[in-house]
Chains A and B, each alone.
Chain A
Amino acid sequence: MPPERAAAWEALPVDSEVRTTEEQAREGAMEGVLAVAGQVGFRAASVRAILDYSGGHRRQFYELFASKEDCFEQAYSAWLARVGSAVLEAAVAAPTWAASIQAGLVALFEFVAGRPEIARALFIEVQVAGGGALAEHERTIERIAAALDGVRERIDPDQAPPASTGLFVVGGIEASVCDALTAGDPSRVWDALPELMHLTVGSYLTTADAEAAFEEAKQLLARRGGEAE
């Protein structure tokens, strides 16, 4: 991946508006809890470690959040909205359904490769944190599955894939992200792009469509590899 694309995610938490000290502290702690959880695991992520990352004081942390769990839940929600916006923005700009899937995956993978510690928190440590964050995670999976299912309008009902297809495909995408993150090499997530395009498109459309999407993804990776060099 070209390095400037990853850098775009480094800058993401800082918006251009003038913010109060309290807002900055809240934002910093929310990034901190995800970054630390992504580095050492949610169980081992202490408030001290979060503050070491973000700056600020323990008293201020507890004025803003009821607990580490509360901070994680709020951070999860805020970052999920950010990543979701980036993915959606990329997807809606694409000319076809298959192209929008690819564009959405590319935006997601740029985030995963650019901010792997935050991605680990959002995709893996959320299972450990549980609570409201995990519930939001599950709702999001269902929303994305429903969005994928939008293509059914253009499929002959006799050829329609099983009702569970959307959840199956989203599970496959999430699992591939988790695999790359747990393997300790987040950039490996890019290797999954052609196969995930084949899996997604092939689950809804024809084998020929899936093979075309697979080839298109391989060509995209080749172009990006060339740009990076």
Chain B
Amino acid sequence: MTHLRLVEEPADGPFREAPLPQRLPHGRHGIPRSVVHDHQRLRLLAGMAKALAEHGYAGVTTTNVSKCAGISSGTYYKHFGNLWDCLLAAYVTTAERLCAEIEAACAERDPGTPPLRAGIDAALELCAAEPASALLLSTHPPMEAVAVSTARRQLIARLAAMLRAARDPEQPPSRPPGLDERMIDAALAFVGAQVTAGRAAHLPALSPELTAILRP
């Protein structure tokens, strides 16, 4: 069962330390069943992003997600009913993590750094460190994955609200309603294009430009 949720994760949320969690030991290890279950799920979510980056929407299958996660196909189906369930869970988890990174960066920023710049820095650093996650968030899903499209719209609405909050509060809010959502959509597409073109590592250097574009 996939839980669709776009709320803050704790700072030590899923794969914050390692994009693809390490395997647990084989055989009798005494680790509680629930821990094993959660661990498998996290590996499958990370495996989904990796498989998508490797095979694209054309070639991604439950088999190659399982392979990327180092988990059997049988175990895959204990967690997810089909490919799109796993994609949705991976999307929502990654979206939550992106938002948490931005919020943490804004909260902990140097007083001389505007919140907009701090948030964009954090977002681009995450995308540069994890291009597969960046592609997962930025690429429009195929029509089979309708629920992922909904999750994408929720992410855009949340990021647009964060953008409004991060702008200079002294600027008059003379912007048409909906424009910030268009700008976030554009920013996601821009990041996706950079990653697709093999320029993910260059993303943090684009932070000043993206800040200038999103600031007006």
Question: A residues touching B (Cβ–Cβ < 8 Å)?
Answer: 40-44, 120, 123-125, 127-131, 138, 141, 161-165, 167-176, 178-179, 182-183, 192, 194-196, 198-199, 202-203, 207, 211, 214
* Interface presence of B144 (CB below 8 A): yes
In angstroms, Cα B175 to Cα A211, docked, is 9
In angstroms, Cα B142 to Cα A40, docked, is 10
- Give the chain B neighbours of A199 by CB distance below 8 A: 179, 182-183, 186
Known: A198-B175, A199-B179. 5 other contacts (CB 8 A): A123-B140, A127-B57, A168-B190, A171-B186, A198-B179
User: Could you mark each residue 190-205 of chain B with 1 if its beta carbon is under 8 Å from any beta carbon of chain A, else 0?
Assistant: 1011001100000000
- A182:B209 contact, CB within 8 angstroms: no
- A43:B144 contact, CB within 8 angstroms: yes
- B216:A202 contact, CB within 8 angstroms: yes
Q: How far is the CB of B185 from chain A (nearest CB, A)?
A: 4
Question: B residues touching A (Cβ–Cβ < 8 Å)?
Answer: 56-59, 139-144, 146, 149, 153, 174-176, 178-179, 182-183, 185-190, 192-193, 196-197, 206, 208-210, 212-213, 216
- Give the chain B neighbours of A169 by CB distance below 8 A: 186
- B143:A41 contact, CB within 8 angstroms: yes
Contact of B212 (CB < 8 Å), options: A162, A175, A179, A183: A162
Q: How far is the CB of A125 from chain B (nearest CB, A)?
A: 6
- A138:B213 contact, CB within 8 angstroms: no
Q: How far is the CB of B152 from chain A (nearest CB, A)?
A: 8
Contact of A43 (CB < 8 Å), options: B58, B175, B188, B189: B58
The CB with the most chain A CB atoms within 10 A, among B144, B176, B188, is that of B176
Known: A120-B143, A130-B56. A164 touches B179 (CB 8 A): no
Known: A127-B56, A127-B57, A203-B213. A175 touches B142 (CB 8 A): no
A218 and chain B: residue at smallest CB distance: B176
Known: A168-B186, A172-B186, A196-B182. A162 touches B142 (CB 8 A): no
- Give the chain B neighbours of A120 by CB distance below 8 A: 143
- Give the chain B neighbours of A141 by CB distance below 8 A: 193
- A138:B179 contact, CB within 8 angstroms: no
- B209:A163 contact, CB within 8 angstroms: yes
Contact of A128 (CB < 8 Å), options: B142, B149, B188, B210: B142
Known: A128-B58, A175-B186. A168 touches B176 (CB 8 A): no
Q: How far is the CB of B157 from chain A (nearest CB, A)?
A: 12
- Give the chain B neighbours of A183 by CB distance below 8 A: 149
- Give the chain A neighbours of B185 by CB distance below 8 A: 171-172, 175-176, 179
- A162:B176 contact, CB within 8 angstroms: no
- Give the chain A neighbours of B149 by CB distance below 8 A: 182-183
- Give the chain B neighbours of A128 by CB distance below 8 A: 56-58, 142
In angstroms, Cα B141 to Cα A128, docked, is 8
- Give the chain B neighbours of A182 by CB distance below 8 A: 140-141, 143, 146, 149
Q: How far is the CB of B30 from chain A (nearest CB, A)?
A: 43
- Give the chain B neighbours of A203 by CB distance below 8 A: 213
- B142:A174 contact, CB within 8 angstroms: no
- A164:B190 contact, CB within 8 angstroms: yes
- B143:A124 contact, CB within 8 angstroms: yes
- Give the chain B neighbours of A130 by CB distance below 8 A: 56-59
Known: A161-B212, A172-B183. A167 touches B190 (CB 8 A): yes
In angstroms, Cα B190 to Cα A169, docked, is 9
- Give the chain A neighbours of B142 by CB distance below 8 A: 41-43, 124-125, 127-128
In angstroms, Cα B179 to Cα A172, docked, is 10
- B182:A171 contact, CB within 8 angstroms: no
- A176:B213 contact, CB within 8 angstroms: no
Q: How far is the CB of A99 from chain B (nearest CB, A)?
A: 19
- B186:A179 contact, CB within 8 angstroms: no
